Structure formats: C-alpha cells, structure tokens
Amino acid sequence: MHLSEVLVRRDELRGREGGELDASKMGVAEQIIGWLNVEATRISQSPASVASLQISVLFSWACNLYSLIVKLTPGYQATPVWGKLSASIALLLDSILDTSSPAKPALRKRSTVQARRTVLSSPESIPKLAELVCQAISGNNTKGIPFLGLIYDVATHLKLKEGSTELAGRIEASSNTINMAGIDAGAGHSTQDIRGYRPFLQSGRSAAYSTYDGFVENAISQENHESKILPVIEKMLLRSPEICLPTFTAFYTHYKQSLRDEELKRLLTPILSGTKSTNGTVRSGVIDLWLAITPLIISESGFKFSVDNILTPVLTGKTNGVDHRQALFKLIQHIPTGPQSREIIKGLVAQLEKETNESVLTCISEALPKHMVNVLKSGNHLEPSLLSIIGKEVASSKPPNRRA
C-alpha cells in the first residue's frame, strides 16, 4: 500500500514543481483505480465469500488514494476516472457494513470512521463527490446509499461549522442534492425489493454503525415522509413484516418530525394487524415499532384515536386469543399519560374483571399504575364502579388477580 502511494505521488508530480519537470505522467493512479473498481464491483456482488481483511485492505487503499490525489492534483475530480474511485469507496464500504460480510463490529466501526476522515480530507470536493455517488445509485443500484448518507452527515456538520462562506453554500447545495437522491433511491428501490430499502433506513444494517441516521434526522420532511416513504412502509409491512419491522423501527427512532393524524392512522393499521399474527417475531416487532412512534404523536386526537382502536377488540371480545390480547396491552403500556389516561383506566379495569390469563393480567397491571397516578395527581377521582371492580379483584381468591 505504501509503495503504491509513493508511485502515485511520484507520477502525479511529474512535469510539475516538486517532481520531475522534464517527465510526463504515466497514469499510475488511473491503472490502480481501474483495478480497484473491478475488485470492488466483484466483492460487492457477494461480500460473504471474501475475507473481511481483504475488503478492509482494499477499502483503506481506496481511501488513502482519494486523500492523496485531492491534495496533489485538485483538478483530478473533473476526470472520468474519479467517478470510479468514488464508486469503489462506496461499494467497499457497503460490503464491509453488510451483515452477510464476515467483518467484525470493530472493523465496521473503524471503516466508517475512516470513510468520514476521507470525506473530510477535502471539504471542497464534497459537492463533486456527492454528485458522483448520486449518479452511482441511479437505476437499480443501492450499494452506494450508505456512503451517500455518510457524505450527507459530514456535509451537515461542515455546513454548521463553516458558517456563511462560499464553501458552506456549495455544501448546502450538495446536501439538497443528496436529500432528493437519497429519498428517491430509498423509496424507489424499496417498491421493487425490500432489501433495497434496508440500507436507506439503516445503512450498515446495524444501528451502532449506521451512516444514514443523520440523513433521517435532518433531511426527511413531513411531506417527504407522507408522499414517498409512508406508502413504501405500508406496502412492505403488508408483504414482509418480519423482515422489515426492525428497519422501520430504526427509521422512526431517528425520524424527528411529528406525525399528523392521517399518517398515524396509516401506521396504526398495519401495527394492529401485526398484533393478530401467530408469528411471535411480528408481534414483538410491531410493539417495538409502536414504541418508536409514540414520541412522534403530539395531538390529543391522535392519542384518542389510538386508544380507541387498540382497546376496541378487547372490549368487544373480538381478539384472536391470549397472544393477541397480550400484544394489545403492551401497546397500551407505551402510551404516555395525558387526557387519554382516564379512557385507558376504564378499558383496562373493565378487562381486569374478565381476564383469566396470568400473562395478560400482568400486562394490564403494568399499564395501569402510571395512568391512575396521573388522574389522581390532577385532582380528579376514579368512578365508584371502577373502585368497586378494583376492590373486588384485590379480595379475589385467585392469586394472579390479587397481584394484578
């Protein structure tokens, strides 16, 4: 690696001050970049079949070559071969972060840090780099999306740091380009293949090494979410809930916009459908998704709609069994206190009297206290009928009921 850097440095300085003035370039960098691009393309097709150390070495080589060339030859970004180097970095980073790759967590983290340093090595090159990566993810290729998210994150931090300078303006423009390319790529690819949506929402396939969190936090507006992303989420939850639920949960963990009532209704429908599933992974997945969504609900009407729709199957006796009821009550556990507390208490206490399953009773007992405390702290009183039911259950001959 060091030898190749020496050769590239010597070749790039030929015919210039600091190098051999009477010599002409031999194209060493072009040959190395061409070979790197071929290897990166091959590896990206099947990361699991290549040793992680080999991928890491090639990735370090590509990053060091990028940093070296931008310093030696500023105009190099205008050459066609520069796109191949950018694509190579993007493909190799995706291969390292892919869960099918044998790379260890420490290697993934180190590679992400190295990629950030590479982008930071030349802030003025970020707009061109963003443009090239955006071109690389056009069509059916999603391999460059993690690197695109990383570039956006670096650009966002630089924009805040640089202030109102010309560079900040160019970075702002490149950020806007990434916004639309990233949103279109994520939404467009996922309509064809759920695997295409994974890197968009959770690049690196692991929250600890996600490179797209900054994009989700800062770039996606309510309009983008409602028009481009939510339709895809609805479709994917219908087709493959057990596969995509962790990804969508990670997305809403980082999504910062509040949910409108209409958006909430569209999300609650597949969540309630998931609670009926006989697949335990799906049930636990929709509960985690609901936990990520509840902080985004800000309207009283949104909470009222949610409580009504979650409790209705229980109160009307239209549940599909113990697992379904348990999942519904776990959804209730994650609803914060507020004006909806009194309605929740009525529903839970009413079910407390009817329920016979111990695990469901435990869920009810875990959900009730905070809402009862909220109502009592506000100076209100519980209805006599509710107090009567609670007193009856306290004196019940069944230990589960007494504990609840």
Query: Which residues lie closer than 8 Å to 391 by C-beta, 6 or more apart?
Result: none
Write the Ramachandran bin of 220: left for phi over 0, alpha for psi from -120 to 50, otherwise beta: beta
How far is Cα 10 from Cα 25, in angstroms, rounded to an integer? 9
Please write the tens of the pLDDT for every residue from 297-325: 989 899 999 999 999 998 888 888 899 99
What is the DSSP secondary-structure string of 120-169?
Answer: HT-GGGHHHHHHHHHHHTSTT--TTHHHHHHHHHHHHHHHHHH-SSHHHH
Bridge partners of residue 297, in order along the sequence: 259
Under the banding of pLDDT at 50, 70 and 90, the label for residue 327 is very high
Q: Is the pLDDT of residue 70 over 50?
A: yes
The mean per-residue pLDDT over the stretch 180-195 comes to 41
Give pLDDT, residue 283.
94
The mean per-residue pLDDT over the stretch 165-185 comes to 49
Q: Is the pLDDT of residue 334 over 50?
A: yes
How far is Cα 330 from Cα 210, in angstroms, rounded to an integer? 28
**Residue 70, SS3?**
helix
How far is Cα 110 from Cα 224, in angstroms, rounded to an integer? 32
Choose between 361 and 63: higher pLDDT: 63
Element (H, E) at 102: none
Please write the tens of the pLDDT for every residue from 12-58: 666 566 555 556 665 677 888 888 889 998 998 888 888 888 999 99
Contact 312, 343 (CB under 8 A): no
Q: Is the pLDDT of residue 271 over 90?
A: yes
Give pLDDT, residue 223.
86
Give pLDDT, residue 15.
53
- The token pair at 259 is 């949910």
Give pLDDT, residue 293.
94
The candidate with the shortest Cα–Cα distance to 44, out of 11, 92, 3, is 92
Q: Is the pLDDT of residue 188 over 90?
A: no
Q: What is the mean pLDDT of the chain?
A: 77
- The token pair at 379 is 């100076």
The mean per-residue pLDDT over the stretch 210-222 comes to 75
Under the banding of pLDDT at 50, 70 and 90, the label for residue 139 is low
Q: Is the pLDDT of residue 176 over 70?
A: no
The interaxial angle of helices 28-45 and 52-72, nearest 10 deg, is 150
**Residue 69, SS3?**
helix
Lowest mean pLDDT among 32-46, 58-72, 88-102, 162-176: 162-176
Contact 95, 150 (CB under 8 A): no
Q: Is the pLDDT of residue 342 over 70?
A: yes
The mean per-residue pLDDT over the stretch 115-135 comes to 84
Percent of the chain with pLDDT over 90: 21
Give Rg (Cα) of the chain: 27
The candidate with the shortest Cα–Cα distance to 360, out of 265, 275, 273, is 275
The mean per-residue pLDDT over the stretch 229-254 comes to 86
The mean per-residue pLDDT over the stretch 130-140 comes to 71
